[in-house]
Structure 1
């Protein structure tokens, strides 16, 4: 499996560090020329590969770490996302429910990525917490996953474990997904919950 992170702001860089900690190669891209963030990528680790957006979207699993409002622009990079898993790390805080058509924000994102298998995840922790070692007090930091495609959620859950986290699947986007999504000017009930799972 190949991995890419689209967006190299605070969250994108934090995710890249998680990959680097675990020795898993990951591509990183923005809409800018890769040279413009190559030194920042190199500072994280040699396995963090700066690429163009067109190159990065060839990956099997793509983390969408951009502003919610930018997701549609990224979706235009491919006419069809068939066979790809999109991990939606965006938060639509402040976006009026009317703009989302009464749907969970992740469903709106899923519709933009035609043919892709969307998993909502890695978005409920602030960057400063996500940046910490996920091994805590003999347990592992929890990441919540929600998807209408259970097999995609299972695949991302396996990756989360490889990155050192404890994945917890919440079910579909219209049920569990709402617990980890911002809607309007409110946050889902599980957002910002820094939970540790002990075996």
Structure 2
């Protein structure tokens, strides 16, 4: 399985650190030349591979960690996203009426036609996501929501591999609303830093 993170701000770098801690190789890209962030990637670890957007979108599983307003530009990198699993790690406080009354992930799913979309890794602030998910003998929880059971299970397995404890919330329009912002109202699980003990 091949992985990529698109966006290399605070969230993108926190995700990259999770991959580095687990020794899992991941491509990282932005809309900028990879040379402009190669030194930051090198500091995180040798399994973090800076690349172009055109190369990153060849991965099978892709984290979307750009500003919400930038996702349409990323979507243009491929004409057809079929066969890709896309993890929407973005948040937006755009008023619901500007999103057609839809959860932001439903808007993202339309832009990335054909992709299997999972909402996840977005409820933790970057400073928390950045930390080792092993806490006091437990594992930090990440919430996942998707309309595709296979994709949700696949991302759940990856979250476990990265050291997190995935909790499936169900479909985007159901449990997924708990990790969506709706204008100035945040879903009830956003910013909840929970630890699961086995």
Match of 1:105 in 2: 104
- CA drift of 1:146 comes to 0.1
Match of 1:119 in 2: 118
In structure 1, C-alpha distance between the alignment counterparts of 2:171 and 2:85, rounded to whole Å: 15
In structure 2, C-alpha distance between the alignment counterparts of 1:176 and 1:34, rounded to whole Å: 37
The runs of 4+ residues in structure 1 deviating greater than 2 Å are: none
Match of 1:29 in 2: 29
- CA drift of 1:96 comes to 1.0
RMSD: 0.5
In structure 2, C-alpha distance between the alignment counterparts of 1:96 and 1:135, rounded to whole Å: 36
In structure 2, C-alpha distance between the alignment counterparts of 1:125 and 1:24, rounded to whole Å: 21
C-alpha distance after superposition, 1:67-125 (max 9, x if no partner): 111111100000000000000001012x0111110111100000100000000000000
Match of 1:148 in 2: 147
TM-score using structure 1 length: 0.99
Match of 1:52 in 2: 52
Where structure 2 has 5 or more consecutive residues not aligned to the other structure, the ranges are none
Match of 1:67 in 2: 67
Q: Secondary structure at the match of 1:4?
A: strand
In structure 2, C-alpha distance between the alignment counterparts of 1:172 and 1:54, rounded to whole Å: 30
Q: Secondary structure at the match of 2:28?
A: strand
- CA drift of 1:45 comes to 0.4
Match of 1:160 in 2: 159
- CA drift of 1:177 comes to 1.1
In structure 2, C-alpha distance between the alignment counterparts of 1:123 and 1:191, rounded to whole Å: 8
C-alpha distance after superposition, 1:37-69 (max 9, x if no partner): 000000100110000000000000000000111
Q: Secondary structure at the match of 1:154?
A: helix
In structure 1, C-alpha distance between the alignment counterparts of 2:187 and 2:67, rounded to whole Å: 17
Q: Secondary structure at the match of 1:143?
A: strand
In structure 1, C-alpha distance between the alignment counterparts of 2:24 and 2:146, rounded to whole Å: 24
In structure 1, C-alpha distance between the alignment counterparts of 2:2 and 2:112, rounded to whole Å: 18
- CA drift of 1:183 comes to 1.1
C-alpha distance after superposition, 1:120-155 (max 9, x if no partner): 000000011111111111111000000000110000
Q: Do structure 1's residue 15 and structure 2's residue 15 form an aligned pair?
A: yes
- CA drift of 1:176 comes to 1.1
TM-score using structure 2 length: 0.99
- Equivalent residues in 2 for 1:154-193 (5 A)? 154-193=153-192
Q: How many residues align?
A: 198
- CA drift of 1:158 comes to 0.2
